[in-house]
Amino acid sequence: MRSFQNLKAAEARRMRYILLAYLIAGFVGLSIGTTLYAVADYTVTEVRLTTTVTIFLAASLALLAAYFLGKKLVELVDKKVKVTCPMCNAPALEENHRLQCQLPEYECKRCNSVYRGGVLMEKESP
């Protein structure tokens, strides 16, 4: 039973790292947007952009930067933080996404175990 609790703890740790990745990406995007707005507002005097256009350009570039940085950080978390199988100690479980409002399933290719929410759902004999 302890190994299944470790599976839940590893899954929760992985989700915390993904949340941290999105928070960092959002903060960096906000910083980039603020910097771009300040630079565009105070240094560009030849091109008279309205404040609305300047804010829109800075916000759109900040959103793009936050999106791509968040995507790269989540890929890094997926690559570095693996959930191991409690039955056979396989190095990584494969994550199968179902509906967005439900937890993902984890499947072990070595022992054919399927886990949902840290609970063993089925085990097929080879």
| Domain identity same for 90 and 124 | yes
Long-range contacts of 90-94 (CB under 8 A, 24+ apart): none
| Domain identity same for 108 and 48 | no
Instruction: Encode the chain (126 residues) as per-residue pLDDT tens digits.
Output: 445 567 777 778 888 999 999 999 999 999 988 888 888 777 765 566 677 777 888 888 899 999 999 999 999 988 888 777 777 777 777 777 777 677 777 788 788 778 777 677 765 555
| Domain identity same for 13 and 44 | yes
| Domain identity same for 56 and 91 | no
Closest CA to 4 of 82, 81, 84: 84
pLDDT at 20: 93
pLDDT at 48: 64
Report how far residue 20's alpha carbon sits from residue 65's, in angstroms, rounded to the nearest whole number: 16
Secondary structure of residue 8 in the 3-state scheme: helix
pLDDT at 1: 45
Which domain, by its residues, includes 100? 83-126
Secondary structure of residue 37 in the 3-state scheme: helix
| Domain identity same for 101 and 74 | no
pLDDT at 105: 78
| Domain identity same for 91 and 75 | no
pLDDT at 46: 58
pLDDT at 72: 93
Could you give the number of structural domains in the chain?
2
Secondary structure of residue 114 in the 3-state scheme: strand
pTM: 0.70
